[in-house]
Amino acid sequence: MYRMLLLSGCMFVSVAASAQGCPNGIPLAGNPGCIPPDQSNSPYYQRDGAATTQSRAVWADRWGAIAVDKSKQSVGIGVAEMMVSERKAKAGAIGDCRAKGGTQCKVVLAYYNQCGVLVAGDAGYTSMGSSTAEAAAKLGMEQCTKTGLSNCRVYYSACSFPERVR
């Protein structure tokens, strides 16, 4: 009886070990033969020698811009978000400002992979960029009051974060 128990225990350990899969560093999924990824017959083989189970993520910068027209009685504003380049963001913001009736539109802030805000007071404005909309708004409000403007408020806020392209 003792031998039978020992024999069944050994069989259980053997089955459990084979169910574990491939040795460390060799992917199991879609690879029933546990072929190392650097061998040409492996389902994970890549010619350049870089075998991998997943491709690396690729991120692209995204730009935003804020343009204002100070010739208006109130601040005229144009904006662009999630643009692929600084040039396109600036052109988009100026185009948006002009589409809203602006005639002397100028870019006051271009930012990428972050957030931008325009904070306006009774007699002027300030713009600021930071990692979050809240942080940019806090910095903008501080700058607005520091420059002596009253009744400061966040007039516009947006983020243009990197976008995964692969």
Residue type, 161: F
120 has a pLDDT exceeding 90: yes
83 has a pLDDT exceeding 60: yes
Confidence of residue 19 (pLDDT cuts 50, 70, 90): very low
Instruction: Give per-residue pLDDT as tens, 22-70.
Output: 666 666 666 666 666 666 666 666 676 454 555 688 999 999 999 999 8
Reported as type and span, the H/E element at residue 76 is: strand 76-83
Residue 152 CA to residue 149 CA, distance in Å, equals 7
119 has a pLDDT exceeding 80: yes
